[in-house]
Amino acid sequence: MGLIIIIADKEESLRFVFFLPESQSFIGVNYGEVANNLPPPADTAKLLQSTSISKIRLYGANPAVIQALAGTNISLVIATANGDIPSLAGDPSAAAAWVAANVLPYFPASAISTISVGNELLPAMQNLRLALAAKSLAGKIKVSTVHPMSVLAHFLEQTGGPFMINPYPFFAYQSDPRPETLAFCLFQPNQGRFDDGSKKTYTNMFDAQVDAVRSAVDREGFTGVEIVVAETGWPYNGDPSEAGAGVENARAYTSNLVAHLRSMVGTPLMPGKPVETYLFALYDENLKPGPASERSFGLYRPGDLSMNYDAGLAKSSQGKVQNLLFSALLLSPPLAN
């Protein structure tokens, strides 16, 4: 549900109707746990409820986090550990045990929507699907992975699971650090780029990367498979050698992406429907190895839950829009006859 604002003059001549959603079913966030300073799960649940984020993707099945989100209507993607995959692929009873331990105690109070499975995983996914079906949950909880392959697309089309991908315009900019590429990656004004294959003109890298996968999946004949962006983000900090990493670029990318999704325009190959997208990430993961950017994707600080930058996700920012609209109503003159 959301707020419907009808602005009219004193004589009730309609000016416009404005629908302001409290949350968007197509905007989610990733919750990584490679850190030693994360807040209690209950605090994370409260933080999420103060935002327009309606989905969260875990990289495991942390019971404390799953329990904390019970009754919040926040949809969860949970994941199997890589170490579980051999047994899940080779033994249906192992898949049944995994579902019994990680799904049944929490569902449906915790709104688990998808189980994401890691590498070379079709047998493991099939066994998890069978385990869910045995508990009459196959129609309610989907099974997916972030690894693309044609045989996987066949499984997903059969079961209704999403095809999960990780587009990162930030890394595309790293390989081509020109000003025009940065504008293209940040959804800023640019000349656009014409794609010879689709005969479409793209004004941002995100759409181009998503549609490249859409086109590849369609060529395999799987036009009914839904594309889901499992990860995308921009680091607010990085090493001196990491071109483009910084607060202003992170704010521009994330806030413009959120606005792009909310516009409902879709992509050139999928117009009129926003792609379900999980932002990376809710918090920084301070124990991640690698360059500084790897530890600098968080939207919020784990210590005090304040924003690293404002991406327009807080419900309070929507309240500001409401106040501006009502002020405009009070201050504007009557419509001319």
Query: What pLDDT tens digit does each residue of the chain (337 aa) get?
Result: 344 334 344 444 444 444 444 456 789 999 999 999 999 999 999 999 999 999 999 999 999 999 999 999 999 999 998 889 889 989 999 999 999 999 999 999 999 999 998 755 677 887 898 899 889 998 899 988 775 457 778 888 999 999 999 999 999 999 999 999 999 999 999 999 999 999 999 999 999 999 999 999 999 899 999 999 999 999 999 999 999 999 999 999 999 999 999 999 999 999 998 999 999 999 999 999 999 999 999 999 999 999 999 999 998 765 444 444 444 444 444 444 4
The answer to whether the peptide bond before residue 271 is cis (omega within 30 degrees of 0) is no
Cα 244 from Cα 234, distance rounded (Å): 9
Residue 271: Cβ within 10 Å count: 9
Q: What is the amino acid identity at position 328?
A: A
Cα 114 from Cα 160, distance rounded (Å): 11
Predicted TM-score (pTM) of this structure = 0.85
Q: What are 233-277's pLDDT values in tens digits?
A: 999 999 999 999 999 999 999 999 999 999 999 999 999 989 999
Extract long-range pairs of 332-335: CB within 8 Å, 24+ residues apart.
332/9, 332/15, 333/9, 334/9, 334/10, 334/11, 334/13, 335/9, 335/11, 335/13, 335/15
**What residue ranges define each of the domains in the chain, with the CATH number in brackets?**
24-313 (3.20.20.80)
Number of H helices and number of E strands within the chain?
11, 14
Cα 216 from Cα 208, distance rounded (Å): 12
Residues with a known catalytic role: 120, 231
What are the structure tokens assigned to 330, written together?
């009070």
